[in-house]
Amino acid sequence: MRDFGAEFFVPRTAGPPAAVRRLVPGGVHAAVDPASVGMLAPDAVRGGVSLVSVLGNAPTPRRGIRVGPCAVLVP
């Protein structure tokens, strides 16, 4: 993920929302959820920002967070 420009990478096994908040106490400005964290993912981001769900299990938006799906196409 760092090769794609990610400043931080948090593995699913680390308890992503809490691990993200330890790295960025106020929460991140945007996130992509490729690990299918789902309903817990919004806890890692600030209110009013964007969250993208890769595997289609997007959580219910809350705290003004924009949630959207992302399709990954592999040729």
Average pLDDT over residues 3-13: 79
SS (H, E, C) 22-51: HHCCCCEEEEEECCCCHHHHHHHEEEEEEE
Q: Are 69 and 59 in contact (CB under 8 A)?
A: no
Q: What is the pTM of this model?
A: 0.66
Average pLDDT over residues 33-59: 73
Instruction: Give first-to-last CA distance, the chain, whole Å.
Output: 20
In this predicted structure, the answer to whether residue 39 has a pLDDT above a threshold of 70 is: no
Q: Which CATH number fits domain 2-69: 3.60.21.10, 3.40.50.720, 3.30.565.10, 3.40.50.2030?
A: 3.40.50.720
Q: Which residue has the tokens 């890692």?
A: 44
| Residue 22: pLDDT band with limits 50, 70, 90 | very high
pLDDT at 57: 67
Q: Both tokens of residue 49? A: 């920002």
